[in-house]
Each structure stands twice: as structure tokens, then as C-alpha cells.
């Protein structure tokens, strides 16, 4: 895990990458309201796109994911309060 990125995140629960890959698209910004099941981030791994959905309704309190950056399993993508 990358402690620097996690420490920089704001309030709320971290939502982590379910798989290793590249961040293809970030569909939310800090302050956005999301509903359970909304697609928040799209990861690309082995030429397949994987949608990362909000686990519950809430407010995005910080976005760590950046388009084009690779992530590992467990890396924080965004925070949800």
C-alpha cells in the first residue's frame, strides 16, 4: 500500500481497487453525490474494462485515482462519506 496517498485522503471510508490495472476513467469529483451502484471509476486490465461501483449512497470526499495511473489491489481510488 502507498501510505502517502492514503494519508492525503480526506474524511470518509476509502474505496479500494478490486484488481490491479490502469485507471481508464474517473467519473466523479470531490463533493459529488453518488447512489449505491453508480459507476465511479473504470479500470482497464488486460484490455478489459472493469467498472468500480459505489458500495453505498454518499458523498465523494476525495478522489485519489488519476486517469492513466496504474493501481494495485487495495489501493484507495476515492473516499466516500
Name the residue ranges covered by the structural domains of the chain: 3-80
pLDDT tens string 11-39: 899 999 999 999 999 999 999 999 999 99
% of the chain beyond a pLDDT of 90: 86
At residue 2, does pLDDT exceed 80?
A: no
Class of 3-80 per CATH? mainly beta
Banded pLDDT at 10 (limits 50, 70, 90)? low
**CA torsion 60→65→43→50, rounded to 10°?**
-20
Residue 19, CB half-sphere, CA atoms under 13 Å: how many? 14
**What CA–CA distance (Å, rounded) separates 18 from 41?**
11
Amino acid at each position: 500500500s502507498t501510505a502517502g496517498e492514503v494519508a492525503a485522503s480526506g474524511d470518509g471510508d476509502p474505496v479500494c481497487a478490486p484488481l490491479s490495472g490502469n485507471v481508464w476513467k474517473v467519473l466523479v469529483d470531490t463533493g459529488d453525490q453518488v447512489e449505491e451502484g453508480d459507476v465511479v471509476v473504470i479500470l482497464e486490465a488486460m484490455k478489459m474494462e472493469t467498472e468500480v461501483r459505489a458500495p453505498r449512497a454518499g458523498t465523494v470526499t476525495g478522489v485519489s485515482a488519476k486517469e492513466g495511473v496504474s493501481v494495485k489491489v487495495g489501493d484507495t481510488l476515492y473516499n466516500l462519506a
